[in-house]
């Protein structure tokens, strides 16, 4: 396959002074955003990194402790390790099914023969534009063990539903259920965009070569959808590792602090908030926040290594 | 480059500087306190922070509007972020002059040198002690000086659903004498259908903290924390007994089930025979469950030989050590906690008086429920843990470990007490 550039029409390379001139003006126009980004993102991050090296209960003098906060988190603090496990478990449990189901729905809704496709796409997308807090409260009511709709429906088919958010064994699964339901529409749109970008002629060629629907999906659609799957995976994992709002809304109340019962839903971000703002200890919470940042970086890089592959036909 | 592009670039530069300047425009405490705009002509503006509560917000704003000695800038901050904002603002010297704190964590703020003492010119220690109930001021005295004046005093009381009591053949006009009497009544009030609970004897699972604030506090003569050492005491007898009896309501007596109407007010819904709450819930239930026929009682002692009959919680108004006009701030606090103002708080905010002169005022005790709260207050002792939400989280975990995880009472209590000790050490309140 030849590219546009290889076919000729090679444009003249701009002179060095012109490139430098353009770069300078590009920076001038980027300056407002860079300043804003620097002030609201990089500066707080740098200060948080600085604080993580101190023992600093608010109201007391800061005491430099080097990497001791990190050591305590990694070696001594079983609660932090448990929150990491909860967060990873949630991420795996929510991202995989969401992507699989969203892909399945996207394939169905991409079929030109399906009537009312627009209506179905809208229905699946509605939860995405609904407030996560509102959705959390609705699901909290749905998952109420004795009178909630979910257990009532399970009762109709002879299943005695679990305690959901009241049970340490089921609370996280309840939050996963709500998250899958809410995020489905978002990933569906990503996959629909990916599916519609696959050239028709490639699928037609596969059909002419005798490939059935499953083989066309397995060997043509899926590989060409890889960038979309990669994008969905990365977004899903980052969101999963930053789990906060669902836990805060679904397990917290005026009488109960979020993250329960028995810390079974306490994610890393919930833990950071607890450690920082309950005892007002800035250093320890900042160190936990940086460890989460490193965790997200590592997991995302692993994803890029494992999933990012180029397919061309 | 054309003139138009150059102009745009200059405009972008100004925009960036503007954004940067906006981001750096924090107001100092001095500017906040001394800012103009006061309508009283005194030239003094007092910033006042409290956590959001509709009833309290309205009462304080009314007081502020009618206050002539200074201009009061009242900020009502959602409870969830109140301590974060207050802590950060005090640290950054942009905090308020007057702020609301739970009485039992005043020592923590005192330890950080963030509080100004009540000046003699506003109220002497003798005046404070003769004017307020002992329970409401006990925790406000640090090193022989008072650092706050009390507000939002609450006794922890037992509520009966009178209709369910009568239906079960129980007399709702009588207090229980012993813990066993209460458990027997709770079992009578509990209803199940098959293996599912349909009515709880006591609504406790969704909000057990009132019990675990109260019972261990009342079990010891000096309260939850020993006066001499500043250490928690509940990892010993009778603390174990208090935790054992409370958690047994769920684990053995089965008079409540965490999965029955999880996290909802079973009592408010008429699905529980009893509950144990702050006195202010008399007003809450009147508003949210107008058909609920309930009465308020002193709970029986949870432990053998309990040192006192009723526990209380209270908040307080403190003045920042960085406040420029501390005398004016204290005058405002004295006004808020005066006898005259307390009458307004009682009528509008579902509170009990901290002024002893009002305890015997029958005109304020409109019905038997209010009278029960007033009577209980005279004998109350304060919940005195040195932590607030952080200590609550530790104590809630003890509850959850025992009721949800089946952990042995002594193991869970020992672990919790050690965690609370570590918390005090972190705050510099314990060696």
pLDDT digits (tens, 9 = 90+) for B316-368: 999 999 999 999 999 999 999 999 888 888 877 667 888 999 988 888 887 88
Q: Where are the beta strands (DSSP E) in B15-133?
A: 45-51, 71-77, 98-102, 115-116
Give the pair of three-digit tokens for residue B345: 């708080």
CA–CA gap between residue B403 and residue B407 (Å, rounded): 8
Q: What is the pLDDT of residue B427?
A: 83
Torsion of CA B32, B36, B42, B45, to 10 degrees: -20
List the one residue out of A36, A183, A189, A207 whose CA is nearest residue B21. Answer: A36
Is pLDDT larger for residue B384 or for residue B52? B384
- What is the tens place of the pLDDT at every residue in B82-111? 988 998 898 888 999 999 999 999 999 998
Is pLDDT larger for residue B81 or for residue A35? A35
Tally helices (H) and strands (E) across chain B: 18, 13
Give the pair of three-digit tokens for residue B155: 């006794």
* Contact criterion met (CB below 8 Å) for B369 and B155: no
How far CA A12 is from CA of A5, A19, A64, in Å, comes to 12, 12, 57
Q: What is the pLDDT of residue B19?
A: 38
Beta bridge partners of residue B101, listed in sequence order: B316
How far CA B24 is from CA of A36, B91, B92, B304, B377, in Å, comes to 12, 17, 13, 60, 49
Reported confidence tier of residue B1, pLDDT bands at 50, 70, 90: very low
Q: What is the pLDDT of residue B35?
A: 37
What residue ranges define each of the domains in chain B, with the CATH number in brackets? 30-152+315-375 (3.40.190.10), 155-311+383-426 (3.40.190.10)
Q: Considering only CB atoms, which chain A residues are within 8 Å of B203? A: none
Is B87 in contact with A253 (Cβ distance < 8 A)?
Answer: no
Beta bridge partners of residue B49, listed in sequence order: B75, B99
Instruction: Give me the total of CB pairs closer than 8 Å, taking one residue from chain A and one from chain B.
Output: 117
Q: What is the pLDDT of residue A10?
A: 58
Is B20 in contact with A39 (Cβ distance < 8 A)?
Answer: yes
Is pLDDT larger for residue A12 or for residue B46? B46
Residues 6+ apart with CB under 8 A from A228: A190, A191, A193, A194, A195
Give the rounded distance of the alpha carbon of A35 from its chain centre: 27
* Contact criterion met (CB below 8 Å) for A61 and A70: no
Q: What is the pLDDT of residue B275?
A: 97
Q: What is the pLDDT of residue B180?
A: 97
Residue of chain A whose alpha carbon sits nearest to that of B90: A59
Give the pair of three-digit tokens for residue A309: 């592959």
Mean confidence (pLDDT) of chain B: 88
Give the rounded distance of the alpha carbon of B18 from its chain centre: 43
Is B12 in contact with A29 (Cβ distance < 8 A)?
Answer: yes
First to last CA, chain A: 10
* Contact criterion met (CB below 8 Å) for A253 and A182: no
Give the pair of three-digit tokens for residue B2: 């054309």
Q: What is the mean pLDDT of residues A215-239?
A: 91
Is B258 in contact with A166 (Cβ distance < 8 A)?
Answer: yes
How far CA B314 is from CA of A22, B280, B308, B427, in Å, comes to 66, 12, 17, 21
Is A59 in contact with B209 (Cβ distance < 8 A)?
Answer: no
CB atoms within 10 A of CB B4: 8
Residues 6+ apart with CB under 8 A from A195: A106, A107, A110, A221, A225, A228
What single DSSP character describes residue A60? Answer: S
Nearest CB to B83: which of A165, A262, A277? Answer: A277
* Contact criterion met (CB below 8 Å) for A89 and A172: yes
Residues 6+ apart with CB under 8 A from B246: B204, B208, B211, B212, B215, B302, B399
CA–CA gap between residue B276 and residue B257 (Å, rounded): 16
What distance in Å separates residue A215's CA from the closest CA in chain B? 48
For the CA atoms of chain B, what is the radius of gyration? 25
Helix (H) or strand (E) holding B317: strand B310-320
What distance in Å separates residue B67's CA from the closest CA in chain A? 32
Residue B268 has φ and ψ, to the nearest 5°, of -60, -30
CA–CA gap between residue A217 and residue A181 (Å, rounded): 25
Phi-psi region of B270 (alpha: psi -120 to 50; beta: other; left: phi over 0): left
Q: Interface pTM (ipTM) of the complex?
A: 0.77
Give the pair of three-digit tokens for residue B10: 């200059």
What residue ranges define each of the domains in chain A, with the CATH number in brackets? 68-307 (1.10.3720.10)
């Amino acid at each position: 396959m030849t590219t546009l550039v290889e076919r000729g029409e090679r444009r003249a390379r701009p002179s060095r002074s012109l490139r430098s001139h353009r770069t300078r003006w590009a920076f001038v126009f980027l300056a407002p955003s860079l300043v804003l980004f620097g002030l609201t993102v990089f500066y707080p991050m740098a200060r948080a990194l600085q604080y993580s090296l101190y023992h600093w209960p608010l109201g007391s003098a800061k005491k430099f402790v080097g990497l001791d906060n990190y050591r305590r988190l990694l070696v001594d603090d079983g609660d932090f390790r448990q929150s990491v496990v909860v967060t990873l478990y949630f991420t795996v449990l929510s991202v995989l099914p969401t992507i699989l189901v969203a892909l399945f729905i996207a394939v169905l809704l991409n079929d030109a023969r399906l009537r009312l496709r627009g209506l179905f796409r809208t229905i699946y997308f509605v939860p995405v534009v609904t407030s996560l807090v509102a959705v959390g409260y609705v699901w909290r009511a749905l998952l109420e063990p004795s009178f909630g709709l979910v257990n009532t429906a399970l009762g109709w088919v002879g299943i005695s539903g679990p305690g959901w958010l009241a049970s340490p064994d089921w609370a996280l699964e309840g939050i996963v259920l709500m998250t899958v339901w809410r995020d489905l529409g978002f990933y569906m749109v990503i996959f629909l965009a990916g599916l519609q970008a696959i050239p028709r002629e490639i699928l037609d060629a596969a059909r002419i070569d005798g490939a059935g629907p499953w083989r066309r999906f397995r060997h043509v659609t899926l590989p060409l959808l890889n960038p979309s799957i990669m994008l969905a995976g990365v977004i899903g994992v980052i969101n999963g590792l930053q789990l906060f709002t669902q836990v805060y809304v679904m397990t917290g109340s005026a009488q109960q602090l979020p993250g329960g019962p028995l810390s079974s839903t306490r994610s890393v971000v919930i833990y950071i908030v607890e450690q920082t703002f309950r005892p007002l200890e800035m250093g320890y919470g900042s160190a936990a926040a940086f460890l989460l940042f490193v965790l997200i970086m590592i997991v995302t890089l692993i994803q890029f290594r494992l999933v990012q592959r180029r397919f061309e036909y | 480059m054309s003139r138009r592009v150059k102009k745009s670039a200059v405009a972008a530069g100004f925009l960036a500087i503007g954004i940067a300047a906006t981001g750096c425009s924090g107001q100092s405490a001095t500017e906040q306190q001394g800012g103009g705009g006061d309508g009283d002509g005194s030239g003094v503006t007092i910033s006042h922070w409290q956590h959001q509560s509709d009833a309290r917000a309205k009462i304080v704003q009314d007081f502020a509007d009618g206050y002539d000695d200074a201009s009061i800038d009242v900020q009502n901050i959602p409870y969830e972020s109140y301590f974060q904002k207050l802590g950060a603002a005090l640290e950054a010297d942009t905090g308020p002059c007057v702020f609301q704190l739970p009485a039992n964590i005043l020592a923590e703020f005192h330890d950080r040198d963030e509080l100004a003492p009540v000046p003699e010119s506003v109220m002497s220690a003798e005046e404070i002690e003769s004017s307020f109930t002992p329970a409401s001021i006990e925790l406000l005295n640090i090193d022989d000086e008072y650092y706050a004046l009390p507000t939002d005093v609450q006794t922890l009381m037992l509520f009966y659903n009178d209709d369910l009591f009568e239906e079960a053949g129980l007399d709702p006009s009588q207090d229980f004498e012993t813990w066993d009497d209460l458990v027997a009544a709770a079992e009578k009030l509990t209803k199940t259908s098959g293996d599912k609970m349909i009515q709880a004897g006591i609504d406790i699972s969704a909000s057990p903290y009132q019990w675990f604030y109260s019972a261990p506090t009342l079990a010891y003569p000096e309260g939850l924390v020993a006066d001499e050492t500043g250490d928690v005491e509940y990892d010993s007898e009778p603390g174990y007994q208090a935790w054992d009896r409370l958690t047994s309501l769920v684990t053995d007596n089965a008079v409540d089930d965490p999965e029955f109407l999880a996290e909802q007010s079973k009592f408010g819904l008429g699905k529980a025979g009893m509950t144990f709450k702050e006195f202010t819930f008399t007003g809450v239930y009147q508003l949210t469950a107008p058909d609920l026929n309930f009465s308020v009682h002193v709970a029986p002692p949870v432990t053998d030989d309990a040192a006192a009959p009723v526990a209380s919680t209270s908040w307080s108004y403190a003045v920042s050590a960085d406040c420029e006009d501390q005398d004016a701030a204290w005058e405002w606090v004295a006004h808020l906690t005066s006898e005259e103002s307390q009458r307004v708080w009682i009528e509008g905010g579902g509170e009990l008086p901290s002024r002893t002169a009002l305890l015997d005022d029958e005109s304020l005790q409109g019905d038997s429920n209010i009278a029960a709260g007033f009577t209980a207050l005279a004998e109350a002792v304060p919940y005195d843990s040195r932590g607030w939400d952080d200590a609550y989280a530790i104590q809630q975990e003890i509850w959850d470990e025992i009721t949800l995880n089946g952990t042995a009472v002594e193991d869970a209590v020992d672990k919790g007490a050690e965690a609370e000790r570590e918390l005090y050490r972190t705050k510099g309140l314990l060696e």
